[in-house]
């Protein structure tokens, strides 16, 4: 396995945007792990929220690499905090 510092951000764009299977996989991942993040309900709600945030972090990393390869500006973190 390669050192993670050696992975070119362009590889993320080529795989997840430039290849039909990569597009399908990214869409599947977003559908599975990209939903609502915050859950009400005391300690159990906090645990579920933490779990969902952990899953979402992987998607955020992949999309961030794709955006960096495409020279896109970083996204706003509007959904990083629960709604008031």
DSSP state of 78: G
User: pTM, whole model, 2 decimals?
Assistant: 0.74
- Measured distance CA(44)–CA(12) in Å, rounded: 35
Q: List the domain boundaries for the chain.
A: 8-72
The Cα–Cα gap between 33 and 24 comes to: 14
Looking at residue 54, what is its pLDDT? Answer: 94
Question: What pLDDT sits at residue 21?
Answer: 97
CB atoms within 10 A of CB 66: 21
Q: What is the pLDDT along the chain (84 residues), one digit of tens a residue?
A: 556 667 899 999 999 999 999 999 999 999 999 989 999 999 999 999 999 999 999 999 999 999 999 988 766 655 555 443
């Amino acid at each position: 396995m390669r050192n993670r510092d050696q992975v070119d951000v362009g590889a993320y764009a080529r795989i997840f945007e430039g290849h039909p299977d990569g597009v399908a996989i990214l869409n599947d991942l977003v559908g599975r792990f990209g939903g609502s993040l915050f859950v009400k309900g005391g300690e159990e709600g906090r645990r579920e929220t933490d779990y969902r945030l952990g899953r979402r972090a992987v998607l955020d990393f992949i999309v961030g690499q794709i955006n960096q390869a495409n020279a896109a500006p970083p996204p706003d973190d509007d959904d990083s905090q629960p709604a008031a």
